[in-house]
Structure 1
């Protein structure tokens, strides 16, 4: 697992790909704009983000297909009835957009 606060270089993305495969599970703190990549479970990334000052209401899961450049916002971690999210998908459009924006920022080299 890797805690990421800044955009990754092409070499760093290639290293993640070689260590974890084409698909990376991501856990993102949409408030602090940091993420954890390469978790076996999104909850593992959540634990790291909580230790780094995150709040559970701001931590969401998804993933990225590095080969096809597809971002998804699906994770068991996202099941949060207390936040009106009764789906594995991030239902709140604002939170979903913040998640995607953060992933695109960190993995910007994929699109360059």
Structure 2
């Protein structure tokens, strides 16, 4: 199940997002709005939820959340976005990585 997270996630939301992959959660993060969608089997599922709720594709970055380690993973083919001058699986802009980490940790961390 993919959840749109706009405020700190509840324990129940976290459990729902862990249903498919068990040890980690696929997330798409809107760095402009400070929200994320998490869960499901693919980052595209999460991105679709954000787009349905008003996010712009240019503002969305993909990551994984590892709740047991309280850590964020960033390297994904879907992060390769030449139109944004990003030709790597990880954002080449350190400020984007910091924004993604901050949003994920704020909304999912500590649970």
Q: Where does 1:19-98 land on structure 2 (aligned, <5 Å)?
A: 19-20=19-20, 21-98=22-99
Q: How many residues align?
A: 109
Structure 1, unmatched stretches of 5+, are: none
How far apart are 1:61 and its partner, in Å? 0.2
The SS at the match of 2:14 is helix
Query: Which structure 1 residue ranges, 4+ long, deviate > 4 Å from structure 2?
Result: none
Q: TM-score, normalised by structure 1?
A: 0.86
Q: TM-score, normalised by structure 2?
A: 0.87
Distance in 1 (alpha carbons) for counterparts of 2:98 and 2:40: 21
- The equivalent residue for 2:108 is 107
Instruction: Say which structure is richer in helix.
Output: 1
